[in-house]
Chain A
Amino acid sequence: MKIPFKSTILLLSLLMLSCGGKEEKKKEGFSVKQQKTTTEKAVETPAVSGDKASERVDLTTKGVGPIKSLTLDEAIDDAMAAKGKEVYDQMCLACHRIGKKFIGPAPNGVLERRTPEWVMNMILNPEQMVKEDPLAKELLIEFNGSPMANQGLTEEQARAVLEYFRTL
C-alpha cells in the first residue's frame, strides 16, 4: 500500500520539476531509502557468469528459431548495415535506444555477448524465445516483463539489422 502512495508523490514531484515556464518550487522527493528492485533469478537457470542476464556473455547458445547457423564475414557490409539501420529506426527504436538501456537493452556490443543466431532468433521468434530460451526468459524478467514484440521482420531484414549492430 505504501509504495504506490510514495510513487505518486515521486511522480508528482517529478512533474513539478519538469515545469518549464511557470516553475513551481522544487520539492525534494521523499527520503526513505529504498532498495532498487533486484532481478529475481529463475530457479532452473543459474547464472553462468555475471549478475544480470543482459551482461552475461554466452557465445555458444543459438536460441530457438529459424536461424540454425550463421557465419559472419570478416568485413562489414556497409550497404546491408545501412539498410539495417533503416529497418531498425522504424521497427526497433521505440524500445531499443543506442547506447542506453530503455524498454529493452541497448544493442551496442551485443555480438560480444551473443551469437548472431541468437540475436536473429530473438528478432524473428520472440514469443518462443521468451518461453524456451533460458537467457531470453531471464531477460524478460530483468526488463520488467516487457515482452520483446514480434515486428514481423523478414529474415533478410533481421540479417540487415544484425549487420547494423556490428557497426555500433
Chain B
Amino acid sequence: MKKIKYSMLTLLGLALVFASCGDQGKSSSNGALSSSAAEKVYVAPGEQDDYYAFLSGGYSGNLTVYGLPSGRMFKEIPVFSQFPTSGYGYSEETKPMLNTSFGFVPWDDSHHPDISQTSGELDGRWIFINGNNTPRIARISLTSFETEEIIEVPNSAGNHSSSFITENTEYVVAGTRFAVPVPQRDMSIKEYKGNFKGALSFISVNPEDGRMDLKFQLLMPGFNYDLSHPGRGKSHGWFFFTTYNTEEANSLLEVNASQNDKDFIAAINWKKIEEYVNNGGGTKMPANYAHNVYDEHTHTATSTMKKEVLTVDPTQVPGAVYFLPTPKSPHGCDVDPTGQYIVGNGKLSADLTVHSFDKMLAAIEGEKFDGEAYGIPILKFEDVLAGQVKSGGLGPLHTEFDDKGNAYTTFFISSEVVKWKVGTWEVIDRKPTYYSVGHLMIPGGNSRKPFGKYVVAMNKITKDRYLPTGPEMEHSAQLYDISGEKMELLYDFPTHGEPHYAAGCPAELLAPKSQKIYRLDENKHPYAALGTNDTRVERKGNEVHVYMSMIRSHFTPDNIEGVKVGDKVYFHITNHEQDFDVPHGFAMIGQNTSELLIMPGQTKTSVWEPKTPGVWPFYCTDFCSALHQEMQGYVRVSPANSNIELSWSLGD
C-alpha cells in the first residue's frame, strides 16, 4: 500500500512540475495546480519575511509576532500575563504593570491588536491591545517590542469592542461587552433592563510619547458592545460599534439575546463629544483604576491609581449618537478604506449588511427616525442601507479589505472566506478554511491603505490539521494569496493561545528601527551598577541589596557572604554587554519566582528570601558563550543570629 501511495505521489509531483513549467511567466489564478504554493511561502535560510503579523494570544494574555508568508513565530510579547521566559510580571520592575483596582492580576484574555496610524495609514509607532477580562488597554512599543503602558478601564466589563484607534491615533477606543451597574453597586440582577449601562471609553494618546489618558466615557444603554472600528477619510470623526443583546436579557443569552430581528450599529460622532467635554461638558464621577507606565530609562514601571472619570450622557449631546438597525447580533463592525461603507457582520444572519456613511448623514439631516432607544434616535434601516452581500455562507464574523476595492469576510459556521466586491456586493470567490474561522487579517486591512497580498484566516478549531498532541492543541491559521482574482490557499500554520484578531504591516516599516540594545549610558535605573566599580552589597535592616553586573561570562560579585535567614535579598543585575543579542539570565536555587532574562544594557531586579542556612548557587540561564557553564556564583546564608559581616568578591 505504502509503495503505491508513494509512487502515486511521485507521479502527482511530476505532473505538478510539468504543469508549473508550462505556466511559467503567466500570472496564476487557478489555484495550486498552476503555481507552486511552496515557493510562495518559502523563505530561504538567511532571508527574511515580507510582513510582520501580530496575532493576539487570547487566553495566553499576550501578543505573538509572526512573519508572513513563512508563518514562523518570532516572539511572544508579554502583555497582560506573567511571563517566566523573561521575568515579566515577576521582576520588581515589571510587577507594577499588572496592578489593577482589584490588586495584582497576573493574567488576561487579550483580543484585538491595532497598529497606530497617521492620516489613516499604519505608522508603526505602537501597537495597542485590550485585556478583555479585567478591562485594560496596553500600548506596546514597536521599537523595543515591549509593553510600555497599561491603563485599566473603569465602569467596563468584558472589554471587547476594543482596542481600535482613530485615524491619527487621537484615541484608542474601549467598549464594554457586559453592561453593568454604573457605578457598581449591590442590586438585583433582574433589574438589569433599563438600569445597567454600557460604557464606551475614549482614551487619548499623546502624539509625542504615546501616553494614554482616559479622556471621557460615554454611558450608553445597557446593550452588549461587541466590536468597533473608526471612521476614516470622509467618516473620520465617527466611531462605529456593533451591539447585541439589545433585548437586555440577563440570563440564557444564547436564546434570549437572539430574539430581535435587528440589533444596532451605534454611530458615535466622537469629535462632537470631544468638543462638548472640551467646553466643560460631562460629569466627573469617582472611580478607581490603575495606570501603569514603564519608563524606558529607569527600566521600571510605576502604577498610579486614578480616582476620577469624566462621563458623558449621550442624550445630553444632540447629534452625537445614532443607532443603525443591523441584522442580526452583528459581530464585526468594519469600515472600508474610503470610509464610505460600514459593514455589519450579522453572525446569526446569512447576509452581510453594508451601511452607507453618506446615506446615514442624509438620514440624520432629514431627521428620518424610526423611534428612539433610551433617548438615542434610531435611523430607518432602508435609509442607511447601501447593500447586502448575499453570499450563501453562514455566520459572517469579520471583514477586511484589500487595495483593489474588494472585501474578504469570514464565515464561522460555513468555515470559509468569501471575497466580494465593495459597491456591487457581488461574490467573486470563496475558499474553505480549516476549521471554523473566527477573524482574518490583511496587513493594513483596517486602514486607508491595505497591502492586499495575503490574508491570514485564524481558525477556532484545529482537529486533524497537525500531528495530534492530546486533547489540547494550538489553533490553526491559513495563509491565502489574494493578489489574483481568485484566492489561493498557500499554507497552514499553528498559532499560540487563541488569536482573536491580528494586525500586520510591511517588514520595512519596523525592521530598520527595531531596537538592538539598551545603552548603558542611558540607563537611569536607580539600582544599576553601571561599571564594575559600582558593584557592591548593602544591608538596610533585613534587606540586602546586591548591585551586580554580568558580562560574558561572569557575575560581579560571584561570591557573597553575610546573608542571613530572614533577609530579603534584592539582586539588582545590570547586563554590561553592549552588543546585539547577548542577553544573560539569572536564577537562584529555590527562589519563589521566575528567572530573569536581562538584555544588553538593561537592569532587572529579582527578590530572594533564603530560608535555610547553607551555600546556595545561582547561575546564568541563557547560553551566552563557550564559558556559559562557568557563569555561576554562590551566596552563603548563615543563621539569623550569626554575626558574619557582609562581604563580596570576584576572582579573589
Which residues of chain A have a CB within 8 Å of any CB of chain B? 15, 18-22, 89-91, 93-95, 102-103, 144-147, 149-153
B579 touches A94 (CB 8 A): no
Give the residue of A89, A103, A151 whose beta carbon is less than 8 angstroms from that of B578: A151
Instruction: Find the A residue at minimum CB distance from B644.
Output: A21
Residues 516-534 of B, flagged 1 when their CB comes within 8 A of A and 0 if not, give: 0101110000000011110
Determine the chain A residues whose CB is within 8 A of the CB of B549 once the complex forms: 94
- B615 contact set on A, CB distance < 8 A: 15
In contact, B578 and A91 (Cβ under 8 angstroms): yes
A124 CB to closest chain B CB, in angstroms?
12
Asked if A89 contacts B552 (CB within 8 A), the reply is: no
> Are the CB atoms of A93 and B561 closer together than 8 Å?
no
Is there a chain A Cβ closer than 8 Å to B645's Cβ? Answer: yes
Contact A146 to B553, CB < 8 A, known contacts A90-B531, A94-B532? yes
B150 at the interface (CB under 8 A from A): no
**Known contacts A22-B642, A151-B579; is-contact A145 B554 (Cβ 8 Å):** no
A95 near B579: Cβ-Cβ < 8 Å: no
Shortest beta-carbon distance from B60 to chain A in Å = 34
Number of interface residues of B (CB under 8 A): 34
Q: Which residue of B lies closest to A153 (CB)?
A: B578
Residue of A103, A149, A153 ringed by the most chain B CB atoms within 10 A: A149
**Chain A residue at minimum C-beta to C-beta distance from B556:** A94
Are the CB atoms of B626 and A145 closer together than 8 Å?
Answer: yes
- In the bound assembly, the distance between CA atoms of A93 and B556 in angstroms comes to 11
Complex interface: chain B residues within 8 A of A151 (CB): 576-579
Return chain A residues, CB-CB under 8 Å to B634.
15
What are the 3 A-B residue pairs with the smallest beta carbon separation, nearest first? A152-B578, A90-B531, A145-B626
Is there contact, CB below 8 Å, between B627 and A144? Answer: yes
Which of B531, B552, B556, B636 is close to A149, meaning CB atoms less than 8 Å apart? B552
Contacting pair B625 A147 (CB below 8 A): yes
A21-B638, A146-B625, A149-B577 as given contacts; A91 in contact with B520, CB under 8 Å: yes
Measured CB to CB, the nearest residue on chain B to A95 is B551
Query: What does DSSP make chain B's interface, helix, strand, loop or mixed?
Result: loop
Residues of chain B within 8 A (CB-CB) of A95 are 551-552
Query: Smallest Cβ distance from A121 to chain B, in angstroms?
Result: 16
- Bound CA span A145–B577, Å: 17
In the complex, what distance in Å separates the CA atom of A26 from the CA atom of B576? 36
Whether B644 and A20, one on each chain, are in contact in the complex, defined by CB atoms closer than 8 angstroms, is: yes
> Do residues B531 and A93 form an inter-chain contact, with CB atoms below 8 A?
yes
The answer for the CA separation of A15 and B636 in the assembled complex, in Å, is 10
21 A-B contacts (beta carbon < 8 Å): A19-B636, A20-B645, A21-B643, A22-B638, A22-B644, A89-B533, A90-B521, A90-B530, A90-B531, A91-B520, A91-B531, A91-B578, A94-B549, A94-B576, A146-B552, A146-B627, A147-B626, A149-B582, A151-B578, A152-B578, A153-B578
Distance of A15 Cα from B635 Cα, bound (Å) = 11
| B627 CB contact (under 8 Å) in A18, A89, A94, A145 | A145
- The answer to whether A149 touches B579 (Cβ under 8 A) is yes
Instruction: Please state if B517 and A91 are interface contacts (CB–CB under 8 Å).
Output: no
B486 shortest CB reach to chain A, Å: 48
Task: List B residues 508-561 near A (Cβ within 8 Å).
Answer: 517, 519-521, 530-533, 549, 551-554, 556, 559, 561
Q: Does B304 contact A (CB under 8 A)?
A: no
| A5, B599: Cα distance in complex, Å | 34
* Bound CA–CA A147/B579 (angstroms): 12
Q: Are A89 and B626 interface neighbours, CB within 8 A?
A: no
In the bound complex, how far is the Cα of B36 from the Cα of A94, in angstroms?
A: 54
Residues of B within 8 A of A150 (CB): 578-579
Cβ of A40 to closest chain B Cβ, rounded Å: 14
Residues of A within 8 A of B645 (CB): 20-21
| CB-based contact B517/A152 at 8 Å | yes
Chain A contacts of B260 at CB under 8 A? none
B651 an interface residue at 8 Å Cβ cutoff? yes
0/1 interface trace, chain B 606-623, chain A, CB 8 Å (1 if under): 000000000100000000
Q: List, in ascending order, chain A residues with CB within 8 A of B559's CB.
A: 18
| Assembly CA distance A33 to B533 (angstroms) | 37
Known: A93-B532, A95-B551, A149-B582. 5 other contacts (CB 8 A): A89-B532, A91-B578, A94-B556, A149-B551, A151-B576
Say yes or no: is B316 at the interface (Cβ < 8 Å to chain A): no
B647 within 8 A of A: yes
Q: Given A18-B559, A94-B549, A94-B576, decide whether A103 and B642 contact each other with a Cβ distance below 8 A.
A: no
Residue of A nearest to B531 (CB): A90
User: Contact check: which of B520, B552, B643, B647 meets A147 at CB < 8 Å?
Assistant: B552
Contact A21 B552 (CB under 8 A): no
